[in-house]
Amino acid sequence: MKTPRDLSGRELARALRRLWGYREVAQRGSHIILQTEVPGHQRLPVPAHKTLRVGTLHAILDLVAEHKGVSRETVLDSIL
């Protein structure tokens, strides 16, 4: 699946909370801090920008996929 070019940080954070078990624990400046305890502890900063850069989105998706034990495409398909 093609990576979206118009996904905002807020939309990504909302999808990660709703679908992947993350919860918002803080906001520091322009970054939303998400945290999960399943399958282990992970804190994840997500920029609250209008549009995420493709490299930033890929990096976040890679972190989520590695932590949850799935592929990046699985995470991307679920949030779109």
Q: What is the pLDDT along the chain (80 residues), one digit of tens a residue?
A: 788 999 999 999 999 999 999 999 999 999 999 999 999 999 999 999 999 999 999 999 999 999 999 999 999 999 98
pLDDT value, residue 6 = 94
Residue 5 to residue 70: CA distance in whole angstroms? 22
pLDDT value, residue 35 = 97
pLDDT value, residue 59 = 97
pLDDT value, residue 2 = 84
Exposed/middle/buried for residue 78 (C-beta within 10 Å: 0-12, 13-18, 19+): middle
